[in-house]
Chains A and B, each alone.
Chain A
Amino acid sequence: MNINIGSVQKIPTQFLIVFIISAIITVYLGASVAEKRIESRNTNNNISLLNNPYSQFSDDIEAEFWENGFLWACPLH
């Protein structure tokens, strides 16, 4: 098949811009949420420890696997 496709854009600039900006925003927001969750958990744990020294975990916010992933990926958190 011999196809003349005329001018071809080798680098999809617009797509890359959308992809990079979306990835940056997602990682930043994800890390912000993760940070807040960890802080809330620590605060709750401290309060729980003060009230009940045998209580180790807060019931409100459970640790999630993605929290460390976002914090690792985001250089600002």
Chain B
Amino acid sequence: MTSKNKINNTRSLYWHYAWVIVIIITIVQMIASSIRMSFGVLIDPLEDKYYWDQGDISIAYAISCIVTALTSPFAGYLGDVYGARKCMYLGTILFFIGAISTAYANELWQLYLSFGLILGLAQSILLVPLVPAAMIWFKKNLGLAMGIILSSWGIGPALSVLIVTFLLKQLGWVGTFWVTGSFCSILMLLLTSIFNNNPEERGLLPYGSDVEEKFELNSTPKKEKIKEYSSYIRNTAPYWNMSAIHFLGCVGHAVILVYIIPICLNKDISLTEAAFIFTVVSGLSSVTRFLTPMLCEKFGVRSIMFFSYLLQSLPILILLYSSNLIYIYTFAFVFAIGYGGEAGGFAILNRRYYGFAPMGIPHGFQMLGAGIGMALGGWIGGSMFDLYNNYDFALVISILASLGGAACILFLNRPNKLLIPKWV
């Protein structure tokens, strides 16, 4: 095993079970975010079936977002204490219950409970502990692994919208939720059965690790030890600041993502063109989301994150002052690069600051900031339109939020040494 690891360590890419873990996590994350991210296609069928107002229906989505955000630190804690595998089982059960109960919800409060609360909770339990679980498998090439996982956040919703739309036409409301709920739950259970919390469970070292290295991974850390270590993490500035930075970044892009089509329509751009501009942003951001963690490893995390935040903010000036279609496409292209890169550096920073320590709690806290930022950004766009009858003020807030995030990145600690040196 020693010689094998030495040989592997000299190559940049080689076969390792860590890549199976990455594929499992990527698929589970795509599924976990699928039903909620395809909420837009569920509104009309609900309106037609029960004659509910769109505003009342969208409250279910808002509840789901808030529940996911608020329970993220708890989900991270569960992942640290009980392991990602048990969380995946729990999340799958909640996902199934949420999907099936949504199928039979015929009162608004039932929709809020099933879709908002249960699926919101399932999403945080399936999303938050898995990124730290992937991190522990990699000593090298963490950027590539994170790039693959993060790109699923863009691909999953795109696929799910198409599939759910098709199923709604073919099977109706109840059938769609039965098919998606059952199929996805069975698939997640199968994937969880071949998932391991850490390399030690399979008798392996993390990817890129040499057996002769002193390695600080502890396969089954005790609950008390995790609590103690978490208290040290909470006493470091980056624990708080990264959550604030993620919050500002999400406020910045949520305004654009939610309102880019109405903004374009306001500029007398056709609906088809507006939809294509949105597609450009979504598609290109998936590419940069894949590339950013690797760029962070190569060129420095703070630099890449800083430029990503700048690219997410400055092009909005084009949107603010121009209605020329070529300029709007220029905006979409540059903004997508920044938006895709916004979240890519956090996992790498967590590794640089905290090493191989249980990462669920800091990651959960960062996801709390991100979730609240997304909700606030979405709310600001509509509210400012109601107030001023245009999106200018919301765009200014979006620019300032992203610039604020870029400024905060400058004050992050240099990630050249562990903030808490010993984790054993």
B88 to chain A, nearest CB (A): 29
Contact yes or no, A3 B408, CB < 8 A: no
Interface residues on B, range: 20 to 34
The reply to whether A3 and B386 form a contact with Cβ atoms under 8 Å apart is no
Inter-chain CA distance A47–B341, complex, in Å, is 51
Residues of chain A contacted by B383 (CB below 8 angstroms): 29-30, 33
Q: Is the CB of A18 within 8 A of B419?
A: no
Fill in one digit per residue for A1-12: 1 if any B CB lies within 8 Å of its CB, else 0: 111111011101
Is the pair B237, A14 in contact by a Cβ cutoff of 8 Å?
yes
- The reply to whether A1 and B225 form a contact with Cβ atoms under 8 Å apart is yes
User: CA of A8 to CA of B384 in the docked complex: distance in angstroms?
Assistant: 40
Mark out the residues of chain B between 320 and 375 whose CB falls within 8 Å of any chain A CB in the assembled complex: none
Q: For residue A6, which residue of chain B has the nearest CB?
A: B419
Given A1-B228, A29-B383, A37-B386, answer yes or no on A18-B247 (Cβ-Cβ < 8 Å): yes
Indicate whether B411 reaches chain A with its CB closer than 8 angstroms.
yes
Residue of A with least CB distance to B404: A18
Name which residue of chain B comes closest to A61, CB basis.
B386
CB distance from A53 to the nearest CB of B (A): 27
Once the chains are docked, how many angstroms separate the CA of A5 from the CA of B240?
A: 16
B421 contacts A3, C-beta separation under 8 Å: yes
Contact B240 A12 (CB under 8 A): yes
A3 touching B236 by the CB < 8 A rule? no
A14: chain B residues at CB < 8 Å are: 237, 240-241, 244, 408, 411
In the complex, A22 has a CB within 8 A of chain B: yes
Compute how far the CA of A1 lies from the CA of B228 in the bound complex, rounded to whole angstroms.
8
Asked if B235 and A10 make an inter-chain contact with CB atoms under 8 angstroms apart, the answer reads yes
Q: Which residues from chain A contact B411 at a C-beta distance below 8 Å? A: 14
* A30 partner residues in chain B, CB cutoff 8 A: 383
Which of A5, A6, A12, A18 has the largest number of chain B CB atoms within 10 A? A18
Return A21 CB to nearest CB of chain B, in Å. 8
Would you list 19 pairs from A and B whose C-beta atoms are within 8 A, ordered by A residue?
Answer: A1-B228, A1-B422, A3-B229, A3-B422, A5-B235, A6-B419, A8-B236, A10-B235, A12-B239, A14-B408, A15-B241, A15-B243, A18-B244, A19-B244, A22-B376, A25-B397, A26-B376, A29-B387, A37-B386
| 4 tightest Cβ-Cβ pairs between the two chains A and B | A12-B240, A15-B240, A18-B244, A9-B237
Knowing that A1-B229, A3-B420, A3-B421 touch, tell me 10 more A-B residue pairs with CB under 8 angstroms: A3-B232, A4-B422, A10-B235, A12-B239, A14-B411, A15-B241, A18-B404, A29-B380, A30-B383, A36-B386
